[in-house]
Amino acid sequence: MAALPHPVLEEAGTQSRGDLRRREILEAAFFVFGKLGYQRATLGDVARAIGVSPGTICHHFGTKNDLFEAVIADRFLRYQMEAEALLVSHEGTYLELLHKIIGRFWDHLWEPGQLDFMLVSQVEAPQFPESGRLQFQQTCCRSRSMLTAILEAGIKAGEFRRLDVDCVTRTIAPAIIGIAANQHRFACYDSAPVGRDQLRRTILEVIDRAVLPFAPPPNPSS
């Protein structure tokens, strides 16, 4: 399979991790905001989590708002760039690539703290228009562009049936996030919970049915 032409990889090699302290603060803030939410969390909470003074946090990030926006940019942009790198490194069918991208996204949602922070960032987004715009551009738009490239290439290669690519790409990620969030929040109340791996397999099966050509009906005479 030829590498997919995709412009969003241009900046992948230019990102800097920053110094170790800045990274440490970002990691701590990620968990603090995810646990307490933006309104309840303070710079003091973040500082105590890593044993530094609130002044150290202010020195590196300024205000709580600035830190919250930095965590959003760091978490979502970093993951998106890593996912996009698969477009040029993958060898195999477009269906295998689609499975790899979706499976990776599902696993990413279950990394410690990820769902908590993602849900908080969505709830808090109206209070931070720039953060919401950044999150939309760097995750929603880029994710849809990535999936569009895969689906259109698969359709052209004859692997996938013709479908409404724009509608499908707008559906996949929100549906997966909703399933994961429901499992994360309410599985403890379910008398017969379904495991994450089983849900992962089912999600891929549903997507296969959506994108693969329809099987011809069986021939009654055969």
Q: Are 145 and 84 in contact (CB under 8 A)?
A: no
Integer Cα distance of 83 and 146 in angstroms: 9
**Confidence (pLDDT) at 95:** 95
Write down all domains in the chain, each with its CATH number in brackets: 72-211 (1.10.357.10)
**Confidence (pLDDT) at 147:** 94
Integer Cα distance of 29 and 57 in angstroms: 10
**Confidence (pLDDT) at 79:** 84
**Confidence (pLDDT) at 220:** 62
Query: Which of 80, 204, 94 has its CA nearest to residue 160?
Result: 94
- Three-class SS of residue 161? coil
Integer Cα distance of 161 and 157 in angstroms: 10
Integer Cα distance of 33 and 39 in angstroms: 9
**Confidence (pLDDT) at 218:** 64
Q: How many CB atoms lie within 10 A of CB 189?
A: 7
**Confidence (pLDDT) at 2:** 46
**Confidence (pLDDT) at 179:** 94
Q: Are 146 and 87 in contact (CB under 8 A)?
A: yes
Instruction: Provide the token pair at 20.
Output: 């170790």
**Confidence (pLDDT) at 44:** 95
**Confidence (pLDDT) at 6:** 43
Instruction: Provide the token pair at 151.
Output: 């689906």
pTM above 0.85, yes or no: no
Q: Are 42 and 111 in contact (CB under 8 A)?
A: no
**H helices then E strands: how many in the chain?**
11, 0
**Which residue stretches of the chain have pLDDT < 50?**
2-3, 5-18
